[in-house]
Amino acid sequence: MRIGVFYLHKMTLSEEIQRRKTFGIIAHPDAGKTTLTEKLLLFGGAIQTAGAVKSNKIKKHTTSDFMEIERQRGISVATSVMGFEYKGVKINLLDTPGHEDFAEDTYRTLTAVDSVIMLIDCAKGVEPQTRKLLEVCRMRNTPVIVFINKLDREGKDPFDLLEEIEKELRIDLRPLSWPISMGKTFKGVYNLYEKSLTVFNPGEKATLDNSIEIKDLNDGTLDKLIGEDYAKTLRNDVELLEAGYPVFDKEEYLEAMVSPVFFGSAVNNFGVRELLDGFIEIAPAPRGRTTDIREINPDDKNFSGFVFKIHANLDPKHRDRIAFLRIVSGKFERNKNYFHVRENRGMKFSNPTAFMAQDKNVVDEAYPGDIIGLYDSSNFKIGDTLTEGEKMNFKGIPQFSPELFRYVVNKDPMKTKQLNKGLEQLTDEGVAQLFTKKTDNRKVLGTVGALQFEVIQHRLKSEYSASCSYESISLYKACWISCADKKKLADFIFDKAHHMATDKDGRPVFLAESAWALQMAEEKNPDIKFHFISEFKED
């Protein structure tokens, strides 16, 4: 199916850019992230129904969790991309895996967004994965909006929560909405930004705008709507907030110096409209990116973009492989010839797609901020750059040194070809890395989380009809090595042959059995550089 959007006048490149918002949702597992994603899609009219994620046994699955293993386990293990329109704004939403074993996929996804909504469970507060993900945002100066979720359940006092978030995550907050009680006595949310009240009625269709404007909290309307006691508490709370927090400054938010806070209950659709309205009002339009030669701005006339994710078998029936491309500048056009920088050749794309979770539609054109899918027969790797001819590479999309390792054992020699193809394609997605030992050619799988081994085993079976098991291997780190003196590099590789492997690009990798072994190798070979991130310049 072909889709197109028609306007009364043809928008300029600048107008197309300004009406786009590309963001990711980050959270600790079980904070309600996938549920919030679905409710945002409801508001955008992208879906008509949504089923709450209540357990691993649910029959109705959330739109963004479309892989079989995700449905079985009730967790998100792959980044989903969803585009929808809301109030004239084109929103590109990336729902990232919450599980810590898939942090690397989330990290690379955050290279493709311009801002982030961070979800926090009101009962649990700041959790370990929240800390890690916020550090990634801090590294990139990504603006963050905080959504405190599950107000329909008993949780921590809102003031205590704000204090905990500021202290634990080292960020400055500014509440833009405020809850009136919580749990069984939850009455609703007062929008400090718009000066309006939304009363909580479980089961009410909250996609409608049910807010009531209350410019003056001393107005008797408040007492009638929520009762005198709750009205009094809200007035006191708002007085404390106004005294304790500075006026919200949009520029400070865009510079990642302050994070606005919203409260709600995603499962009940409550507070989501306020969040979305606030988001389209303040969130940044598409931003530029840095390459190895210069800074690229979105309104640069020439097209450019980078691949931040690859997904094999998005549709198992068709065995397709899709490269997810973030457009950075210019306008992308279907069937136009573009330059693949790493491969130094031109490429055309006859069926580029836009996403709505697992639903895909062919698009004729796309603009900065958009995420498009390019059907790929192993031409792309994560980090690849596409341009209109300029030789440059976008920076900041690395692979990290794995922390867990296993030997891959082929359980069915008749399916060796399928196993090798599966390992090759699945590790292209970046959730795991494949190394080949120098001495015996054994395949070593390296990951940053244990669950990835299970996911790969499951997908090899279901998508490639290949069976594998794992054998333990005692390794501490796998690190890339380089040296300006090619002879010294060759000598090191020869001397350490039993500890050497190559990655999929044929680059030498040192497999250190312990922290001590790595330290000794570094001290005894001062000319050899050991790299823990794949993105380094060759000597």
Query: Within this chain, do residues 126 and 257 fall inside the same structural domain, yes or no?
Result: yes
261 part of a folded domain:
yes
Q: Largest Cα–Cα distance in the chain?
A: 84
Mean pLDDT on 395-400: 71
Report whether pLDDT(52) > 60: no
Asked whether residue 2 is assigned to any structural domain, the reply reads: no
Q: Measured between alpha carbons, how far is residue 95 from residues 24, 36, 243, 456 in Å?
A: 6, 10, 36, 21
Lowest mean pLDDT among 193-202, 408-417, 430-439, 462-471: 193-202
Q: What are the angstrom distances between the C-alpha of 248 and each of 235, 242, 254?
A: 19, 10, 11
pLDDT at 451 over 70: yes
List the one residue out of 104, 177, 191, 124 whose CA is nearest residue 146: 177
Q: Are residues 376 and 503 in the same domain?
A: no
Residue span of the structural domain in which 477 resides = 404-531
pLDDT surpassing 90 at residue 109: no
Residues 307, 411 within the same domain: no
Phi, psi of 441 (to 5 degrees): 60, 15
In the prediction, which pLDDT does 188 show? 85
- Mean pLDDT of the 158-187 span: 92
Residue 358 lies in a domain: yes
Residue 65's pLDDT is 46
Q: Is residue 524 part of a domain?
A: yes
Evaluate if residue 112 carries a pLDDT over 70: yes
- Tell me the average pLDDT across 343-372: 84
The reply to whether 187 and 269 lie within a common domain is yes
Residues 87, 23, 5: CA angle, nearest 5 degrees = 40
Considering the domain architecture, whether residues 95 and 209 belong to the same structural domain is answered as yes
CATH number of the CATH domain containing 424:
3.30.70.3280
- Mean pLDDT of the region 48-64: 39
Among candidate residues 282, 311, 343, the one where a domain is terminated: 282
Least confident range of 69-73, 145-149, 466-470: 69-73
CATH number of the domain bearing residue 320: 3.40.50.300
Indicate the range of 72-76, 162-166, 179-183 predicted with least confidence. 72-76
Closest of 302, 506, 309, 324 to residue 391, by C-alpha: 302
pLDDT of residue 91: 92
Number of domains in the chain: 3
pLDDT at residue 398 in the model: 65
Structure confidence at residue 7 (pLDDT): 47
Task: For residues 511 and 444, state if they share a domain.
Answer: yes
Question: Confidence class of residue 21 from pLDDT cuts 50, 70 and 90?
Answer: very high
pLDDT value for 357 = 47
pLDDT of residue 317: 56
Shared-domain flag, residues 299 and 278? no
246 within some domain: yes
Q: Is residue 9 part of a domain?
A: no
Stretch 171-183: mean pLDDT, rounded?
A: 92
> Can you read off the two tokens belonging to residue 290?
């840095």
Lowest mean pLDDT across 190-204, 254-268, 305-319, 504-518: 305-319
pLDDT over threshold 80, residue 184: yes
Higher pLDDT, 50 or 208: 208
Question: How far apart, in whole angstroms, are the C-alpha atoms of residue 418 and residue 288?
Answer: 41
In a domain, 516, yes or no: yes
How far, rounded to the nearest angstrom, does the alpha carbon of residue 436 sit from its chain's CA centroid? 30
User: Which of 361, 387, 413 marks a domain boundary?
Assistant: 387
Residue 458 tokens, joined: 């499951």
pLDDT tens digits, 22-38: 999 888 777 778 788 88
User: Phi-psi category of 227—alpha, beta or left, where left has phi over 0 and alpha has psi -120 to 50?
Assistant: left
More confident residue, 174 or 65: 174
The verdict on 323 and 211 lying in the same domain is no
Does one domain contain both 380 and 505? no
pLDDT surpasses 90 at 521: yes
Let me know whether 277 and 303 are in one domain: no
344 in the same domain as 462: no
Q: What is the pLDDT of residue 57?
A: 31
Q: Is residue 450 scored above 90 in pLDDT?
A: no
Residue 50 has pLDDT above 50, yes or no: no
The DSSP secondary-structure symbol of 99 reads S
Instruction: Give 101 or 174, the one with higher predicted confidence.
Output: 174
Contact 328, 305 (CB under 8 A): yes
Amino acid 284: pLDDT: 96
What's the whole-number mean pLDDT along residues 493-516?
A: 93
What is the residue-averaged pLDDT of the chain?
A: 83
In a domain, 12, yes or no: no
For the stretch 65-78, pLDDT in tens is 445 544 554 434 34
Which of 328, 355, 387 marks a domain boundary?
387
* 131 plus 243 within the same structural domain: yes
Query: Whole-model pTM above 0.95?
Result: no
In percent, how much of the chain has pLDDT > 90? 48
Q: Which of 459, 393, 395 minimizes the C-alpha distance to 108?
A: 395
